[in-house]
Structure 1
């Protein structure tokens, strides 16, 4: 049996019409083009990341799941629907507005075979002055009102806009109409899904020069008109070596921690731990080794790792499968 250790992966970079080059600021290597998404930890047909460190280097997360899944992922660490790793971890560079979109729940009957619904959360890593997001419907907007707004080209009138700044956290359950807008860099923790229904895309061409497909019927079907339980919060003011719960769902819980001195932690047999370094630098230590870590890096700590230590001057996001 392999001794467990924190796994780091080579990101899968995705060109997007709304992307840019901001992920280079984390020291990440980007291919040519407008890079909108870095899939940092993924086990999906559209993007499976490979380990870059330690004795499992070169293996994809899918292979690790097949070989070591029970020990490494923990008793909660699998999607009940398709057996894959349950989460997908991304960094997003929103150089332009994303489409207005909504995601289905796991039980939507028109989901592609083997695909999950998509509940997600965002942590704003960086935001230009005046940056905003689209976050939910205005009061009183039901299916008929949303359908009419889409049909008449005035969908923005039906949506709430929220200003954002670095450190804001947003929980976005499936069924919440939403969009990131230009000028934000975001860490996204989500169900392991690549299903998005576009409500509106500003009538712009895609990377191929053609208009991007809209999914109006699916969008109207899956939108939670009474609200799906979306929440948002400011997360500043956190003391040294304290955790703050910033998102809680049936699929993941996410805490923010501010590391200022050595801080002892431990994994549990129930779940892996994912650490996203949101800012700063530090060390991640465990029995048998340590790593220098910095903003923009993401690590998968196996459930059977046991004790580990965070140290340095950094902000981290910690995600587990509940």
Structure 2
């Protein structure tokens, strides 16, 4: 039996924006003094774009990718294998925005397969864990249709102010959830700690690169020509009503908008003394956000506390959670 395991930090570098201090506080890590570690790839079987190893989770010297390849049924379950093969269909991240993240968009699955010969696009959802000052801003989708020539001009002139001004600005607070379909241009304000669930890929078309010292135009296009790269961006207007449909709040049980179900699932787990919660057998990542407790399964017991990220393989079977804690369980889409 493969047991649940508390994962160590996995913070690839370099990344093109500053951040990371809030990840260290959340995970109870010593202050690294480094500004360029804004992401923690959790239970990752994928690398950062263009890298052979950066981003892969390693457990006792062996990558999770290799572990799953050696025993996919034990990690993922037969139903998942029948539906998706040995692809976990999930990447979880902790992300801290020391800077406002540049305006960018992620290719969808069809585009990734056609233009990049990769299996997955990058639809994602943000679960807001903390925000400096209690609330922050994000910019999501264009308010009005943008024609191809206009988007190309904004990119060529690096007119970030006009791009941001054309987008829907929204306010986000701790506990908020936002689903962001692939293709939708977006930017995330500084000072936010986010648990991000996404398809397992590291793919961004970066529309705003000029102010960021670690970015160049070449970095922004995934190795594609400009016209092809910009076709990954959704130029159609995104209405306030659409964004309302993508917004939610963390709550016990399933809480993501229905549109997310084809890509990943999440549920809030709330446990109090004497009121244990059973988690059915499922490949999952459990992120403990408050409190402390234990996970128990037929093969053992694991103590957990706030800041822990736990990989739970399918083969652990039913897992009982006890103690006094809150957590988020991220999962791939349901098989079938």
TM-score for both structures, normalised by structure 1:
0.84
> Which residue number corresponds to residue 173 of structure 1?
181
Structure 1: 5+ residue runs without aligned partners? 52-56
Question: Cα distance, 1:143 vs. partner?
Answer: 3.7
Distance in 2 between residues matched to 1:65 and 1:290, nearest whole Å: 22
- In 1, distance between residues paired with 2:192 and 2:270? 21
How far off is 1:199 after superposition? 0.9
Instruction: Identify the residue that residue 50 of structure 2 maps to in structure 1.
Output: none
Give, in whole Å, the separation in 1 of the partners of 2:82 and 2:123: 13
CA distances 1:22-63 after superposition (whole Å, capped 9, x unpaired) = 221122367552211111211113321122xxxxx4332112
Deviation at 1:170, TM superposition (A): 0.9
Aligned residue number for residue 50 of structure 1: 58
SS at match of 1:249: helix
Question: Where do residues 130-145 of structure 1 align in structure 2 (5 Å cutoff)?
Answer: 130-145=135-150
Structure 1 residue 122 displacement after superposition = 0.9
1:14 pairs with one of 12, 34, 46 = 12
Corresponding residue of 1:54: none
Whether the 8 Å contact between 2:278 and 2:319 is mirrored in structure 1 is yes
Q: CA deviation at 1:298?
A: 1.6
Q: C-alpha deviations, 1:87-133, integer Å up to 9, x for none?
A: 11111111111111101111115543435211111101100124211
Does the CA contact (< 8 Å) of 1:273 and 1:302 recur in 2? yes
Between the two proteins, the alignment pairs up a number of residues equal to 307
- Tell me how far apart the structure 1 counterparts of residues 141 and 180 of structure 2 sit (CA, whole Å): 9
Structure in which a larger fraction of residues adopt strand = 1
1:1-322, aligned counterparts within 5 Å? 3-15=1-13, 16=15, 17-25=17-25, 26-28=27-29, 33-34=34-35, 35-45=37-47, 46-51=54-59, 57-75=60-78, 77=80, 83-108=86-111, 111-129=115-133, 130-151=135-156, 153=159, 154-201=162-209, 203-206=211-214, 213-215=219-221, 217-226=227-236, 227=238, 231-235=245-249, 238=251, 242-247=252-257, 248-261=260-273, 262-268=275-281, 271-321=282-332, 322=334
- Give the Cα separation in 2 of the matches to 1:27 and 1:267: 29
> Root-mean-square deviation (CA), in Å?
2.8
Structure 2 CA distance, aligned partners of 1:217 and 1:297?
42
TM-score, normalised on structure 2? 0.81
Partners of 1:77 and 1:196 in 2: how far apart? Answer: 27
Contact 1:267 1:302 in 2 (8 A): no
**Which shows bigger deviation, 281-290 or 23-32?**
23-32
Greater Cα offset, 185-194 or 215-224? 215-224
Q: 2:137 & 2:62 partners in 1: Cα distance?
A: 39
Contact 1:277/1:316 (CA < 8 Å) preserved in 2? yes
Measured at CA, do residues 294 and 59 of structure 1 come closer, stay the same or move farther in structure 2, by a change above 3 Å? same
Give structure 2 stretches of 5+ with no counterpart: 48-53
